[in-house]
């Protein structure tokens, strides 16, 4: 199964595409869609939508995964994040890609084994799980890959469970 993971941000939206059988994962692509803070939010959301549509068109994911909204100290930041999540969900829905949503704690628990892991720990585990020669330098892209791995692992487990019943 090919999974597109998205780590939403109004300045930097990370994405990661993996191929997975639910147990073994391999990297297809990972990068960041960067927007200018000098532009209005509407223009930034458009750029993110266009970037995600291009990724979906190029890599043809069968499943999508997006990190859920978490409690943020800054309300404006949380609202901007919610807008970006809406754009990501829309882009996936437009392409008829089923979507899973996971809290940051679920992603970290799935990838690292500890829900309060630091970003550096996530980067190291993503490197290990994808058998990469080095860590993905962008924390946004690495986090997106972690979201994809979380989804692939859960989908694989669910499929094995259904088969056993």
Q: Any idea which residues carry the catalytic annotation? A: 7, 67, 140
Residues 6+ apart with CB under 8 A from 15: 4, 5, 6, 7, 29, 30, 31, 32, 33, 51, 52, 55, 141, 144
Residues 6+ apart with CB under 8 A from 122: 107, 108, 111, 112, 139, 142, 143, 146
Determine the Cα angle at 71 with ends 53 and 153, to 5°: 55
- The Cα 76–Cα 50 span in angstroms is 23
């Amino acid at each position: 199964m090919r999974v597109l993971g998205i780590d939403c941000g109004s300045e930097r939206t990370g994405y990661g595409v993996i191929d997975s059988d639910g147990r073994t994962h391999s990297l297809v692509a990972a990068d960041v869609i960067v927007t200018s803070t000098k532009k209005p939010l509407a223009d930034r959301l458009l750029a993110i939508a266009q970037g995600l549509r291009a990724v979906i068109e190029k890599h043809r994911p069968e499943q999508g995964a997006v990190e859920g909204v978490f409690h943020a100290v800054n309300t404006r930041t949380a609202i901007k994040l919610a807008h970006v999540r809406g754009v990501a969900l829309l882009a996936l829905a437009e392409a008829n890609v089923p979507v899973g949503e996971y809290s940051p704690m679920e992603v970290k628990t799935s990838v690292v084994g500890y829900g309060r892991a630091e970003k550096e720990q996530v980067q190291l585990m993503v490197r290990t799980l994808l058998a990469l020669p080095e860590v993905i330098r962008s924390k946004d892209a690495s986090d997106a890959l972690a979201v994809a791995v979380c989804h692939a692992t859960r989908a694989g487990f669910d499929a094995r469970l259904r088969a056993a019943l």
